[in-house]
Structure 1
Amino acid sequence: MELSFTAPLWQWQARQDDSWWFVTVPPDESDLLADLPLPPRGFGSIRVRVTVGTTTWHTSVFPSKEQDGYVLPMKKAVRRAEGLGGGDPVTVTLATSV
């Protein structure tokens, strides 16, 4: 499955010193991910291949009650390579193996 969406980059307020940054997967796309018949993984995570701009990497998306969907962690290297800062819209292509 491949999903594409645009959502703002935000910083996790509980850990500002560690600079944890995320993009929230929108509700419709989060619902599609939640319906995947995947084997259980830690914290309900789903392995994905992500492309933002010219950068592609493998990571996991995680369910978030606070965000009411899945969240995608955004590595510092990706943010730098793509020139992304807090609040910027991020266009994401996310692919699962299912």
Structure 2
Amino acid sequence: MNHWINLVAVGKILLFGLVLGAAVPTLFALGLRLNITATADGRSDSGRARLMIGLSWAIFALVVVVVITGVLFIANNFIGHRTAVYLFGAPAHK
């Protein structure tokens, strides 16, 4: 650990950012791809289409939950200070 920079903490933040920074857009792209119901020749397979559309909506819901959780995690001290409701185990200021 450097006197000015905590390299272990920087590494953890970098790894977390890479995982979420790559995983969430990848899941969103997968959801978009699964939402396409037409086959290569232009026909639609209704049985497969229902399953894929349902799966794509589940993936979209997961992405929305991850984004909202991230925003709340970033703003947890602000929310706690303004409303006295502390999320994610943030300590109460006295």
If the length of structure 2 is used for normalisation, what is the TM-score? 0.20
Q: Bigger radius of gyration, 1 or 2? A: 2
Q: Larger RCO: Structure 1 or Structure 2 (Cα < 8 Å, ≥ 6 residues apart)?
A: 1
Which structure shows the higher helix fraction?
2
If the length of structure 1 is used for normalisation, what is the TM-score? 0.19
